[in-house]
Amino acid sequence: MKNLLITGGAGFIGSNAIDYFLTQHQNYTIINLDKLSYAASIDNMDSFLHHPRHIFVKGDITDSALVEKLFIEYEIEGVIHFAAESHVDNSINQPDIFIKTNVLGTFTLLEAARKYWTGSKKESRFHHISTDEVYGSLGEEGFFTEETPYAPNSPYSASKASSDHLVRSYHKTYGLNTVITNCSNNYGPHQHAEKLIPTIIRKALAGQSIPIYGNGKNVRDWLFVTDHCQAIDKVFHLASAGAHFNVGGNNELSNIDLALLICAKLNELCPSTSKGDYSALINYVTDRPGHDFRYAVSINKIELALGWKPETAFATGLMQTLTYYIHHFKQHNMLAETIGEV
């Protein structure tokens, strides 16, 4: 039996990952440290909150006394670190919390891990979850590889890049058993309503204008969250210490094509007699400052080294995602609310 500390397990990817790890690995008990920020939801933990191998701890990753206590109390042998401030627009308006949580929070976890694991004969692994946004922006051609130099453009991506560098340094300097994965845009159930795909669905169903930044031509590479969990599983268990892998969906779409696709599916799933075609609600809005044009990730390294590639066809993943949000937004009466844009 092993105890894993997972941070951010009440958020989007963390909650999907806890569900996945509890199902796939019967020998793990998961200690889930989450401060329950605005982006978290108790509902995201519905399937595992009372699971006998899940322990929820409400707390902040910047609280070093708490983090150190958790390592000792639960004899932690592995960390998967998701907790972060994750919304680029918020980082433009209020960068300070991004530096605190993403940089200082990661530092606090690394320090606790170093203190607890140094000199110990216990197994250890520190898996840091990061983003392809650390690489900056691509033009029409090419892909980010693990060799692409870091060039973050938003306070969010700069804070993630900083945390990646700290993780790398703890491996190089102290020999901490770290791995880093940089993934592309995830989609699937449990994402906060402020993010792009939930926003398109929510605004369409509410009959409100669907905001699309700039000319809508910005391209993102969409990765289904369960495929991401499988990649994390492989890297966490099989990668060598200090390794660094990109994780992508092989699935590039411009924001406007994504919005049109979602509207077309909603026309089939929830036809609106009063509103007509949902795509009529699409409204181009002033572009995000420093908006990266294109992200696209090469997955050659993880495919060759660990045999991982995404399995979920976009049509399948999108249908699961739509079904979840249609139900979720109606159940929680969220179709009249104004929630942060895009």
Ligand X SMILES: NC(=O)c1ccc[n+]([C@@H]2O[C@H](COP(=O)([O-])OP(=O)(O)OC[C@H]3O[C@@H](n4cnc5c(N)ncnc54)[C@H](O)[C@@H]3O)[C@@H](O)[C@H]2O)c1
Active centre residues (catalytic) = 132-133, 156
Q: Which of 30, 39, 113, 282 binds ligand X (CB under 6 A)?
A: 39
Q: Which of 162, 186, 230, 321 binds ligand X (CB under 6 A)?
A: 186
By beta-carbon proximity to ligand X, the closer residue of 63 and 303 is 63
Residue 273, both tokens: 């007699």
- Residue 192 C-beta: closest distance to ligand X, Å: 5
User: Is residue 203 involved in binding ligand X (CB under 6 A)?
Assistant: no
Report the Cα–Cα distance between both ends of the chain, in Å, rounded: 42
- Residue 62 C-beta: closest distance to ligand X, Å: 6
Choices 47-55, 80-88, 115-123, 263-271; region in contact with ligand X by CB under 6 A: 80-88
User: Is residue 37 involved in binding ligand X (CB under 6 A)?
Assistant: yes
- Residue 14 C-beta: closest distance to ligand X, Å: 5
User: Is residue 13 involved in binding ligand X (CB under 6 A)?
Assistant: yes
Q: Which of 3, 4, 6, 11 binds ligand X (CB under 6 A)?
A: 11
- Residue 272 C-beta: closest distance to ligand X, Å: 29
What is the largest distance, in Å, between two alpha-carbon atoms of the chain?
A: 68
Q: How far apart are CA 342 and CA 333, in angstroms?
A: 19
Q: Which of 45, 48, 54, 60 binds ligand X (CB under 6 A)?
A: 60
User: Is residue 220 involved in binding ligand X (CB under 6 A)?
Assistant: no
Choices 4-12, 72-80, 134-142, 263-271; region in contact with ligand X by CB under 6 A: 4-12
Q: How far apart are CA 305 and CA 31, in angstroms?
A: 29
User: Is residue 34 involved in binding ligand X (CB under 6 A)?
Assistant: yes
User: Is residue 8 involved in binding ligand X (CB under 6 A)?
Assistant: yes
User: Is residue 129 involved in binding ligand X (CB under 6 A)?
Assistant: yes
User: Is residue 5 involved in binding ligand X (CB under 6 A)?
Assistant: no
- Residue 185 C-beta: closest distance to ligand X, Å: 4
Q: Which of residues 86-125 bind ligand X (CB under 6 A)?
A: 86, 101, 105
Look-up: residue for tokens 């449990």? 190
3-state helix/strand/coil string of the chain = CEEEEEECCCCHHHHHHHHHHHHHCCCEEEEEEECCCCCCCHHHHCCCCCCCCEEEEECCCCCHHHHHHHHHHHCCCEEEECCCCCCHHHHHHCCHHHHHHHHHHHHHHHHHHHHHHCCCCCCCCEEEEEEHHHHCCECCCCCECCCCCCCCCCHHHHHHHHHHHHHHHHHHHHCCCEEEEEECEEECCCCCCCCHHHHHHHHHHHCCCEEEECCCCCEEEEEEHHHHHHHHHHHHHHCCCCCEEEECCCCEEEHHHHHHHHHHHHHHHCCCCCCCCHHHHEEEECCCCCCCCECCECCHHHHHHHCCCCCCCHHHHHHHHHHHHHHHHHHCCCCCCCCCCC
User: Is residue 185 involved in binding ligand X (CB under 6 A)?
Assistant: yes
By beta-carbon proximity to ligand X, the closer residue of 161 and 282 is 161
By beta-carbon proximity to ligand X, the closer residue of 33 and 239 is 33
Contact by Cβ (8 Å): 5, 59: no
User: Is residue 166 involved in binding ligand X (CB under 6 A)?
Assistant: no
Total residues contacting ligand X by CB under 6 A comes to: 31
User: Is residue 62 involved in binding ligand X (CB under 6 A)?
Assistant: yes
User: Is residue 160 involved in binding ligand X (CB under 6 A)?
Assistant: yes
Which residues make up the interface to ligand X (CB under 6 A)? 7-8, 10-14, 33-37, 39-40, 60-62, 82-86, 101, 105, 129, 131, 160, 183, 185-186, 192
